[in-house]
Structure 1
Amino acid sequence: MHIPYYFPTIILSQALFTNAKTYTFPAFESSTTYFEQSDPQVSVAQVKYSQNFGLKTEFSWQDVLDQLDANHKLFFLIRHGFGVHQCNTPSTDWTCYWETLDGYDGQVWADALLTQKGIDECTALSKQIKSTSNFPFPNTHYSSPLRRTLQTWQYVWKDITNDAPIIKEYARETYGIQTESKRHSKTYIHSNWPYATFEDGFTEDDKLWEANSRETGQHRKFRAASLLNDIFDSTSSDEKVISIVSHSGMIGSLLKVVGHREYPVDNAVLIPVLVQRKKHKTKDYVLDKPDKTFSDICPDKPSQITQGPGLTCSAAPFSGSN
């Protein structure tokens, strides 16, 4: 079967990016002392994640909490559970055609929902948290505005805390071209997660996602630094433990911004990171690269599409938060 398709012609200047801007934030630093995943002397394969989320045996959670003050916070970075946009083996057809659509044949992956596997992963993480002795529950919760992160927060935290997440636009995944990174409206989010609150200035419609351009890694690192700085500014010294439910790309950028080693974060995994905001040291983030175009991402677009996307799973039934 031949499936007709259309690739829009994208005309963007490849000249020098003349709108370069420089943003300066306080410098951030992560501790290598307390957690195995933060210690470059411990190989990734040796990290004992299932035991106290990688907390080294010579330390207690109280030892970590004793280090926290106005300039030091313990962040729990959580990647969303397995989503319907991950139900396809990566291929050029998938990345360069199907992911640019909202869905196909009744299946929707735009602003992707969790699969049943993803829900089960989140439930398992919630159980791990509840079974961890002396686990320091977050004082403040944040979430990306995308549906899979809000679902993840729901299945991980809703039954074990009376708190609710604050939705942060900059906590979202790399955005543009592929529709899994396109968010729903503020009204839709509120109607489905009414207990969540929105940061000041959160817009009704998605002002970031565009069908013909994709955010650069450079810009995502800027977002990560801005997000961290905003959290430090908006929380008191008593709010020492912070949870952020986000995405692999953004978590990777957060780790880079705080000087953490590269560390793979699987779906529905929580990694604790002790972060210091430096008092007298800053870092510049220069934005001098244009957004990526479709041609940048897909220089060899498929010549024709001969079959459907071949998803190996589907989104779990969804009717909003419980």
Structure 2
Amino acid sequence: MYFGLSIFYWLFVCTNAQFLLKLRYEPNYLPIYESSTEFFEQSDINIPTHEVDLTNFGLRSNYSWQDVLEEIDLSPNQKLFFLQRHAEGYHLTAKSHFNFSSIDWRCYWSLQKGKDGIEWYDAELTEKGYKQTHKFTKKIKSVSDFPIPQRFYVSPLRRTLQTWWETWNDLTEKTPIIKEFAREIYGIDSESERHNKSYIEHHFPEFEFESGFSFDDVLWSSEYREKTEHCQYRAASLLRDIFDETSEDDKIISIVSHSGLIYCILDVVQHRYYGLSPGGLIPVIIEIQNDKKIYPLDDAYSNFTNWCPYETSSISERIAISTDNVDDCEDASQSKEDS
């Protein structure tokens, strides 16, 4: 009886040891995160999101920024993150500018690079977008004790690189790091596809690439679209990498990214949903836990039919496809890359 129990015990231990060992090497076996609800109105579920006082970036009136810094200094696992959405890009204005119907935009035009000289492939900032960044910089300068980030991370897409430069370049001498996983939810539409590394190096020489950054965009595909499940995995991976490569003294972190990825970060750190307007920012105290969990990847991508669930014949006949206009835009894009 005792011998039988011993065999059962060792089988149990060995089986579970193998399982745990396997988990350690699973890329989606990642840390659990939490976020504080104490200091910022954006984090308080009792305050409707439209009533948040953004005068001091949502910091409660009974706290100072020094209070926040003193709090995070108490724990080596806590950092203050400034999650900033890029300012307005041409991909946000094209649909209304050309008066495309929702179906026309989703099923055809969002897949193109642009039209009539307006390019939304890897979209750049609009004139309004630039003004948004300059207004935001003035607001930062108006807060005397605003804590300037010690480390900066940015998505590789043009609108985020431009947003970082216009917002932070005059406020810091730090070099921002381009992170592939800081990009927007990607696939099918052209605005979520990035340029190659050579293009980025040429047009944004002040930025530094993370180790292993691929030359071509190996994530984007015209056939599939990233779903929330995979986006959350990316968010957890991005946070893990940032905690790993920064010291305990690097307490203030900036990520300039996109609405979709920021929503995934908020989900992962157990923060409530909070929408950001173009150019907006949300401060979040994030704590990395010692415990880990599996971030599932069994429903990571959808296909074009999910993106455009309409028969070709049902798409509006107003799409008068102007091949010349599309080709002109593509030629202009190619000229930019060659320059």
TM-score range, shorter chain: 0.7 to 0.9
CA distance in 2, matches of 1:233, 1:22: 15
CA distance in 2, matches of 1:241, 1:31: 15
**2:121 partner letter:** A
Contact 1:112 1:180 in 2 (8 A): yes
Kindly state the Cα deviation for residue 247 of structure 1 after the two structures are TM-superposed.
0.3
Contact 1:22 1:287 in 2 (8 A): no
Indicate the residue corresponding to 1:57 in structure 2.
61
Kindly state the Cα deviation for residue 101 of structure 1 after the two structures are TM-superposed.
0.8
Matched, 1:76 2:82: yes
CA distance in 1, matches of 2:27, 2:247: 28
* Aligned pair partner of 1:288 in 298, 323, 337: 298
**1:181 partner letter:** S
Give runs of aligned pairs for residues 166-181 of structure 1, distance below 5 A: 166-181=177-192
List alignment gaps of at least 5 residues for structure 2: 1-25, 323-335
Contact 1:47 1:54 in 2 (8 A): yes
**1:25 partner letter:** L
Indicate the residue corresponding to 1:30 in structure 2.
35
Indicate the residue corresponding to 1:244 in structure 2.
255
Give runs of aligned pairs for residues 294-313 of structure 1, distance below 5 A: 294-300=304-310, 302-307=315-320
* Aligned pair partner of 2:208 in 189, 192, 197: 197
Which range moved further: 262-271 or 62-71?
A: 62-71
Indicate the residue corresponding to 1:227 in structure 2.
238
Contact 2:80 2:284 in 1 (8 A): yes
CA distance in 2, matches of 1:144, 1:116: 20
Aligned residues: 289
**1:244 partner letter:** I
Kindly state the Cα deviation for residue 73 of structure 1 after the two structures are TM-superposed.
0.2
Cα 1:287–1:306, aligned 2, differ >3 Å: closer, same or farther? Answer: closer
Cα 1:181–1:75, aligned 2, differ >3 Å: closer, same or farther? Answer: same
Contact 1:22 1:285 in 2 (8 A): no
Kindly state the Cα deviation for residue 181 of structure 1 after the two structures are TM-superposed.
0.3
Deviations 1:276-309 (Å, cap 9, x if unpaired)?
1112x22220100152111111111515343479
Kindly state the Cα deviation for residue 270 of structure 1 after the two structures are TM-superposed.
1.2
Indicate the residue corresponding to 1:102 in structure 2.
113
CA distance in 1, matches of 2:136, 2:316: 42
Structure with larger Rg:
2
Tell me: higher relative CO, structure 1 or 2? Use CA pairs within 8 A at least 6 residues apart. 1
**2:319 partner letter:** T
* Aligned pair partner of 1:45 in 36, 46, 50: 50
CA distance in 2, matches of 1:180, 1:305: 22
TM-score of the superposition, structure 2-length normalised? 0.82
CA distance in 2, matches of 1:85, 1:231: 29
Tell me the secondary structure at the aligned position of residue 62 of structure 1: helix
Kindly state the Cα deviation for residue 22 of structure 1 after the two structures are TM-superposed.
7.0
CA distance in 2, matches of 1:283, 1:291: 21
Indicate the residue corresponding to 2:198 in structure 1.
187
CA distance in 2, matches of 1:273, 1:282: 21
Tell me the secondary structure at the aligned position of residue 66 of structure 1: helix
Kindly state the Cα deviation for residue 42 of structure 1 after the two structures are TM-superposed.
1.3
Contact 2:122 2:157 in 1 (8 A): yes
Runs of at least 4 residues of structure 1 off by over 2 A? 303-309
CA distance in 1, matches of 2:215, 2:28: 26
TM-score of the superposition, structure 1-length normalised? 0.86
Kindly state the Cα deviation for residue 26 of structure 1 after the two structures are TM-superposed.
1.3
Indicate the residue corresponding to 1:15 in structure 2.
none
CA distance in 2, matches of 1:164, 1:92: 41
